[in-house]
Structure 1
Amino acid sequence: MAKRVVPESARRRRRPTKQGQVLTHGLIVETALRMLREHGAAGLSARRLGLALGADASTVYRYFRGMDDLILAIADEVYGTAMAGWRPAGDWRADLRDLGLRIHHAYLAHPQAALLTASRVTGRPNEVGGDETILGILRGAGFADPDAVRIYHAFIDQCLAFAILDAATLALPKAAREADEEVWRDTYARLPARTHPNIAATAPLLVAQMNDSAYPAALDMLLSSASAQLGRDS
């Protein structure tokens, strides 16, 4: 049976924690995000979270049904930072591009959290609000509902997939990440045209571009395809 979640008004501690703070849902999520940033997913547990908060581990379960419930709250918090303060400019393509880059950036600001949460579906307010906004942009642009859903599906999955891919790179130890980046210069750029004519011909471009995220280019391709379809259907 799922644990009962105590309403916010009833779950506040009467006394501050050892750090002098009163526990709240937001403080726990913020602390969990910090722990993920510093220690990765393996370092996040109710016991360690309780220690970081200066409270007993069981206190966490007054706010969350379990650690997975906390993970979903973290996912919604990260999504919320992407949507915070966003306002539409009125051009559907520019608006979707801006939203995609904002969501991608929000996850990369928390790479360890991205690896843990970007594949999850939370059904929570920030995620639901973002989905409503994206679908509204597409339907407002004139896409029929089946096309709006298809493009939304591709748009959000592309964004989250790149977030996971790019976050995995950022989450690597610095030495491993730098070693991977050097492969393009130290291996690919030195391949002879005799055996690898295509790589040799494009080597300078590969060295210049392959260590950057391909997400902006992929996003532009998706939006160009959607725009072309809209033009054909008009």
Structure 2
Amino acid sequence: MPRETLTADRIIRAAIELLDEEGLDGLNMRSLGARLGSAATAIYWHVKTKDDLVRLAGDAIWQEVEISDLEATDWRTAATAQATGIHAMLTRHPWLGQAFGSHLLYGPGKARHDDHSLAVYETAGFAPADADRAATTVLVFVLGSALAPAAQVSLTRRLGRSGDAERQLADTVARSIEIAREFPRLRERLGTDAAVDYAATPGNSFEFGLQAILDGFEARLAAVHPAG
């Protein structure tokens, strides 16, 4: 059976799979070549550097986030759908959050969503400059909210290389609980269930924070454009 032709699209898809499994530190041309059944040197005919590969892979996964039809839905529903979609994408690909701080990321996939974000908040009633600020506010919140699951994946992977990750995490949680008992509000939350989940992010925190931000946007818009 003939070998599948090596293309830039195949390389990017394989790179995304490798990044999902191994993180940024696990991405190298030799491992990628082995996954593709090709020599590492052949990859360089299509992608010049590892940084280029991360940029292309990082832009490709933005296509996973659906864009709402602003003629068929209200701005707040569209904003919620976009933010939720981006958060889910970042959770599926935890390396992207890390890449934001270590690589120059750009491309048509990300630009498409940036443009849609501006359209969402201009539709809401924000002037162009404030629409930009609103879109940035939501994106920063989404990125921050996705850090916890991304960090958990990265930490578990690193601890797994050095020993028993589950035991190390359990020991760390136990020590953090002992420290928390010294502080009154934390101590109140260390009940039967809270103690088990002490190190976790409270449930529905992302949804709560996003809706609080959108509530603030609505209040701001109402102040600027009061109902006649």
* 1:217 alignment counterpart: 208
2: distance between equivalents of 1:232 and 1:48? 56
Corresponding residue to 2:24 among 41, 45, 60: 41
1:55 maps onto 2:38 in alignment? yes
Q: Letter of the 1:38 partner, please give it.
A: E
CA distance in structure 2 between the aligned counterparts of 1:95 and 1:209, rounded to whole angstroms? 33
Q: What does 1:196-215 correspond to in 2, within 5 Å?
A: 196-204=183-191, 207=195, 211-212=200-201, 214-215=205-206
Matches within 5 A, 1:169-188: 169-173=152-156, 175=166, 178-179=169-170, 182-183=173-174, 186-187=177-178
Instruction: Give the letter aligned to residue 185 of structure 2.
Output: N
**Seq. identity, %:** 25
Say if 1:71 and 1:117, in contact at 8 Å, map to a contact too.
no
1:95-151 deviation per Cα after TM superposition (whole angstroms, max 9, x unaligned): 111111110111111223442357755331111110111100100111112211111
Aligned length: 212
Partners in 1 of 2:110 and 2:18 — Cα distance?
23
AA paired with 2:219?
A
- Residue of structure 1 aligned with 2:220, choices 210, 229, 233: 229
Q: Which moved more, 1:41-50 or 1:85-94?
A: 85-94
Q: Which runs of 5+ in 1 are unaligned?
A: 1-14
Q: Is the 8 A contact 2:65 2:85 kept in 1?
A: yes
Over the aligned positions, Cα root-mean-square deviation in angstroms equals 3.0
* C-alpha separation in 2, matches of 1:118 and 1:99: 22
1:185 shift after superposition: 9.2
TM-score by length of 1: 0.77
1:61-100 aligned within 5 A: 61-83=44-66, 86-88=68-70, 90-100=73-83
- SS class of match (2:65): helix
1:183–1:74 Cα change, 3 Å:
farther
Deviations 1:33-66 (A, max 9, x none): 2222322222211122112211121221222231
Equivalent pair of 1:32/1:44 in contact (CA under 8 Å): yes
Give the match's secondary structure for 1:93: helix
Stretch of structure 1 that moved more, 176-185 or 136-145: 176-185
